[in-house]
Structure 1
Amino acid sequence: MSVFGLRTSNPAFNRFFWKKQYSSNSKAKMSVGGIILKSLLMLCLVVATASYTWHLFFNAVTTKWYTAIGMFVAIFYSLFISFKHSAAKYLLPIYALAKGFFLGGISAIAHQRFPNLPFQAIGVTLVTFFVMLLLYKWKLIRVTRKFRAIIITATASIFMFYFIGWILRFIGINVPYLWGTSWFAIGFNVIAAIIASFSLLLDFYYIDKQVGRYPKEREWLATWGLLITLVWLYVEVLRLMKKLAIRF
């Protein structure tokens, strides 16, 4: 079952990626080890530029443009990769570096107001990742077609809300349920964080089903998909913890 042409909430794992293509002559196939290695390398790039932006911020250098440009560059390259999958191995490092500038900027702002909050959010993100992995491996949560359809629909709805919210904020209209600290806004953030967590299960499912069947270069696309979900989860956790800190 698909929604908006997707078979998972993550754009990296859509029907164009997972359609049957068995004509490749490549002997090397996708492997879990290869995806883990590439994911770690990309996370190192994210940490590198995030640390640089963090350093600039706490040395009284304006990082607004680093954060904004990093966000838009990451979005641009992510969209490009979604349409041109073969470019993932070349563009993913640029995406990771750009995302690091963005994450470094928002994390530094959060840390300035609430010391150590970003580190706590990183901890929660990592714990959530491994909990979801164990839940998937132990089959405590089964990724059925109905489950996938629910997560896909919820993810599409959340990103539509964010898109509309960003447009309205750009023209000067504030959307309290997205950016405020009301209980409704906190509840929305909780739901978004939960959906982001469940999206990891869908990513594990599709990687598990395709490892050993697709060419090894497809590991770059799988890495991109996991990186998108992890970054989304971290941002949701950071925003939620920040709202709770302001509230209490």
Structure 2
Amino acid sequence: MYNQPTAGPVDTGRVTMDDVIMKTLGLFALVLGFGAVGWYGADQSETLGLLFVMAWVPMFILGLVIAFKKTLSVPLIVGYAVVEGVFVGAISQFFENQWNGVVPTAALATVATFSGMFLAYKTGLIKVTDKFRRIVTMMIIGYAIFALVNYLVLPMFTGDMFGIGGTTGILISLFAVGLASVSLALDFDMIDRAIATGAPQKYSWLLAHGLIVTVVWLYIEFLRLFARLRE
């Protein structure tokens, strides 16, 4: 017994980097898979609006439940990835039909930004402090409120899907891309802190969920930015 190696995080049921990576890849695969469903389903104009409603509404509700639920629920996180995939596929099809070539450009920009932010975080170029975390969190909350008004309320009166357009709209999209990019650093820091503090292994699902949500947000903001530039 005394000659046995010291128990590691896996033996004690603690979250590890491998856990987070595998859960992230699993959720990402669901987003891509059901993204294809949303993409081909939205190919017909009469089903596009229906898909938006069928995906966005449950995605919004599930997001709130996951955020405020006291206990972690894996089925809810998996369900969120499914409807998120349908939503991303449908909105990608719409943008590609309106502005040909914008989807692969946004996807490439998302991958490049994710890689750049990961390197910047790991090399210490970006350091996540308590003050940094508070400021970014407040900015995210503020932008979320603004986005609900700008992309859901204003279009009803202006007829423009982007709400505020023109040069101001481009500046808004640039700000949103920057905010989503910086949010990745918060996700990386949260993963490191969870591993360092020995969080329960099940927590890796929530970490993976947060990372996927940020990546999808970044991708959609790139879609808006490039579409606005094309306009």
Q: Does 1:184 align with 2:168?
A: yes
Report the counterpart of residue 67 of structure 1 in structure 2. Answer: 52
Counterparts of residues 143-222 of structure 1 (less than 5 Å): 143-166=128-151, 168-169=153-154, 172-174=156-158, 178-211=162-195, 213-222=198-207
Aligned partners of 1:71 and 1:98 also within 8 Å: yes
**CA separation of 1:61/1:44 partners in 2, compared to 1, >3 Å: closer, same or farther?**
farther
Aligned-CA RMSD value = 2.1
Q: Does 1:98 align with 2:80?
A: no
Report the counterpart of residue 140 of structure 1 in structure 2. Answer: 125
In structure 2, distance between residues paired with 1:51 and 1:68: 17
Structure 1 unpaired stretches of 5+: 1-25
Q: Secondary structure at the match of 1:86?
A: coil
In structure 2, distance between residues paired with 1:42 and 1:124: 21
**Cα drift, residue 60 of structure 1:** 5.8
Larger radius of gyration: 2
Percentage of matched positions with identical amino acids:
28
- Corresponding letter in the other structure for 2:89: G
In structure 1, distance between residues paired with 2:92 and 2:63: 21
In structure 2, distance between residues paired with 1:89 and 1:196: 25
Between 174-183 and 90-99, report the one with greater CA deviation: 174-183
Report the counterpart of residue 229 of structure 1 in structure 2. Answer: 214
Which segments of structure 1 move beyond 4 Å, counting only runs of 4 or more? 175-178
**Cα drift, residue 44 of structure 1:** 1.1
**Cα drift, residue 167 of structure 1:** 5.2
Report the counterpart of residue 224 of structure 2 in structure 1. Answer: 239
In structure 2, distance between residues paired with 1:176 and 1:63: 18
Report the counterpart of residue 122 of structure 1 in structure 2. Answer: 107
Aligned partners of 2:52 and 2:90 also within 8 Å: yes
- Corresponding letter in the other structure for 1:34: D
**CA separation of 1:67/1:167 partners in 2, compared to 1, >3 Å: closer, same or farther?**
closer
**Cα drift, residue 61 of structure 1:** 5.5
- Corresponding letter in the other structure for 2:170: I
In structure 2, distance between residues paired with 1:120 and 1:240: 11
Report the counterpart of residue 22 of structure 1 in structure 2. Answer: none
What is the TM-score with the length of structure 2 in the denominator?
0.87
Aligned partners of 1:124 and 1:237 also within 8 Å: yes
What is the TM-score with the length of structure 1 in the denominator?
0.82
- Corresponding letter in the other structure for 1:207: I
- Corresponding letter in the other structure for 1:149: R
Count of residue correspondences: 220
Structure 2 unpaired stretches of 5+: 1-10
Aligned partners of 2:154 and 2:163 also within 8 Å: no
